[in-house]
A = this chain, B = another copy of it.
Amino acid sequence: MYSSLNTNGNAAAFETGPVSGRFAAVYSEVQNSRIDHALPLPSVLRNPFKVVEGPPSSAAGNPDEIAKLFLNLFGQPSAMLVPNEADSLRSDLKLKIGVVLSGGQAPGGHNVISGIFDYLQDRAKGSILYGFRGGPAGIMKCKYIELNADYIYPYRNQGGFDMICSGRDKIETPEQFKQAEETAVKLDLDGLVVIGGDDSNTNACLLAENFRGKNLKTRVVGCPKTIDGDLKCKEVPTSFGFDTACKIYAEMIGNVMIDARSTGKYYHFVRLMGRAASHITLECALQTQPNITIIGEEVAAKKQTLKNVTDYMVDVICKRAELGYNYGVILIPEGLIDFIPEVQQLIAELNEILAHDVVDEDGIWKKKLTNQSLKLFEFLPQAIQEQLMLERDPHGNVQVAKIETEKMLIQMVETELEKRKQEGSYKGHFKGQSHFFGYEGRCGLPTNFDASYCYALGYGAAALLHSGKTGLISSVGNLGAPVEEWTVGGTALTSLMDVERRHGKFKPVIKKAMVELEGAPFKKFASVREDWALKNCYISPGPIQFVGPSSNAVSHTLLLELGAQA
């Protein structure tokens, strides 16, 4: 029990800044109960272990180029922790470790940090853990806080990233690498844990290579974080946060489904976070069994147009109307329109025009669009046209999150249904309701799965640093089994990499893991979606439970992928 918690509610001490900690925070009963939730550890971490190495690794693609980019690290083997008669690492080593959160929030980040901290307490007593504040910028500016037991305690099993906060800066330029080196030297760092997504882990590996090249002692290990679920491979079966976020969205979708069935008059168009890949949408579909689910990767593979997507929806809606159902639930991935080739083309042209030309009120600028793009642009509802012209992100990209795809599709479906009504092929009535579930899921209380997974990731990452490893991503496997049977190790980050050509140079990238159309989760979905379309097979998962039924459930995606591997 967190004794200094103030449950009065109106006398919380004044916080002095965004990372002043939760010492004075007011906690709900559920938050409070989670603090002392006992986290199981994989048995290999509870007992003496040694680190064994696998065979030399290669790269996900273009190994020759990756080898040139990582002269020191390319080819290094993965590491695996295995039981040993006695501990193989010196417990009298006092390590100085830094940790940083990079990018968007994902439930469980605090537990990764707790895991690192507890490892150091348990196995390298007297070590120091620095938390870099506000993401990679904290490394570059040497802004940090020394984390101790009291500071960490109220964040255990809690959502959010506010223990040290995160940021989206990148360590990219030679000057920035220099700054990172200076911090590593100044703090005498033995190791650094980078908690982040694909980009951040690529960056972690570049940092590891750089430190190694400069003969610094600082090792770097990554941890797979993203609710989007698009950072995974055989050794890293899932990224943390995906489980919690999907369950939060699925709760809401399930509620909306019961509402749809009770009311009988609305089609709910639910857009779900996840820009680059549609894993969240697919997982939520598997959990809730909606009538229509659009998977961006399928749209792209089949080179579908917006009209195709609209027609698919309208066909289902018409068939349902014939069965007497004028309601339904439709899931749409946030990044849908990015997956549609004709839209990509339009956006590319718009990016070009907006970067170099004046957009005049009279629309003369539109003449610069190709015929196909102009036609598509004019076909879009006006509100969407305006959103496409809105401010760009720092990389000059259209901010897909700002485009209300769900509203656009409602309008397009309405228009098409009206047409079919006049043709006599549709006699139902249609009312669309739009939803966007995003921010609600990024900072929820981690599920038991994410809480345990993150704790093991952090604990394992510290073990890797303790054993002198660098350039690895913390890898916890066998996740379908009870926690005690989970495997723990590290995978060479270079083995996940390929190169992309940017500005005439090869850049290493960890490829985003997209929804595989031949993968088990999609195939399962594809095999039942026609049933779901016309029958009402809705499942309402209900709120996440921390004890009792389903409290230890694992995501469908993970289970299906593990099953297919087995």
One of B29, B252, B263, B445 near A440 (C-beta < 8 A): B252
Does B165 lie within 8 Å of A264, measured CB to CB? yes
Interface residues of A in 239-255 (CB under 8 A from B): 248, 251-252, 254-255
* Closest residue of B by beta carbon distance from A164: B262
A392 to chain B, nearest CB (A): 15
> A32 contacts which chain B residues (CB < 8 A)?
549
User: Which residues in B have their C-beta under 8 angstroms from that of A162?
Assistant: 258, 261-262
Inter-chain CA distance A439–B437, complex, in Å, is 13
- In the complex the two chains form, is B268's CB within 8 Å of A445's CB? no
| 29 A-B contacts (beta carbon < 8 Å) | A12-B535, A15-B536, A25-B538, A26-B538, A27-B539, A28-B287, A28-B541, A30-B545, A30-B550, A31-B539, A33-B549, A33-B550, A105-B258, A105-B259, A159-B258, A159-B540, A160-B262, A162-B258, A166-B263, A251-B444, A255-B440, A258-B443, A259-B443, A433-B439, A435-B439, A543-B543, A543-B545, A546-B548, A547-B547
Docked CA distance A214–B14 (Å): 67
Structural contact, B255 and A540, CB atoms closer than 8 A:
no
A158 to B326, CA, bound (A): 23
Within 8 Å CB of A159, what residues of B? Answer: 255, 258, 540
CB distance from A522 to the nearest CB of B (A): 15
- A527 CA to B433 CA in the complex, in Å? 37
- B255 x A549 contact (CB < 8 A): no
How long is the Cα–Cα vector from A537 to B22 in the complex, in angstroms? 10
Q: Smallest Cβ distance from A422 to chain B, in angstroms?
A: 20
- CB proximity to B under 8 Å, residues A152-166: 158-162, 165-166
**Known pairs A9-B537, A248-B543. 8 more at Cβ < 8 A?**
A15-B535, A25-B538, A28-B254, A28-B540, A28-B541, A31-B540, A105-B259, A543-B544
Whether a CB of chain B sits under 8 angstroms from the CB of A10 is yes
Q: Would you give the 0/1 interface string for A253-294, flagging 1 where the beta carbon is closer than 8 Å to chain B?
A: 011111101111010100000000000000000010100000
Contacts of A468 in B (CB 8 A): none
Q: Is the CB of B17 within 8 A of A324?
A: yes
For chain A, what secondary structure do more than half of its interface residues adopt (helix, strand, loop), or is it mixed?
loop
A29 to chain B: which residues have CB within 8 Å?
Answer: 549-550, 553
Number of identical protomers: 2
Q: How many A residues touch the partner, as a band?
A: 35 or more
Task: Contact check, B545 vs A289: say whether CB atoms are below 8 A apart.
Answer: no
B261 in contact with A9 (CB, 8 Å): no
A441 to B12 CA separation, bound complex (whole angstroms)? 29
A15 to B105, CA, bound (A): 41
Distance in angstroms from A236 CB to nearest chain B CB is 24
A187 at the interface (CB under 8 A from B): no
A18 interfacial by beta-carbon distance below 8 Å: yes
Contact A539 B26 (CB under 8 A): yes
Least CB separation from A18: chain B residue: B264
Is residue A442 within 8 Å, beta carbon to beta carbon, of the partner chain? yes
Residues in chain B near residue A553, CB distance under 8 A: 29
A160–B261 Cα gap in the complex (Å)? Answer: 8
Tell me, yes or no, whether A381 is within 8 Å of chain B by CB.
Answer: no
A169 interface residue (CB < 8 Å to B) = no
Report the Cα distance A443→B289, complex, angstroms.
Answer: 17
Name the one of B441, B538, B539 contacting A255, with C-beta atoms under 8 angstroms. Answer: B441
Task: Provide the residues of chain B in CB contact with A439, threshold 8 Å.
Answer: 255-256, 259, 266, 268, 433, 435
| Chain B, Cβ-Cβ closest to A326 | B18
A262 touches B161 (CB 8 A): yes
Closest to A543 in B: B543
Chain B's nearest CB lies how many Å from the CB of A237?
A: 22
- Residue A30 contacts which of B26, B259, B441, B542 (CB distance < 8 angstroms)? B542
The residues in A between 61 and 76 inclusive whose CB is less than 8 angstroms from any CB of B are: none
Query: A541 and B30 in contact (CB under 8 A), knowing A255-B443, A262-B166, A264-B165?
Result: yes
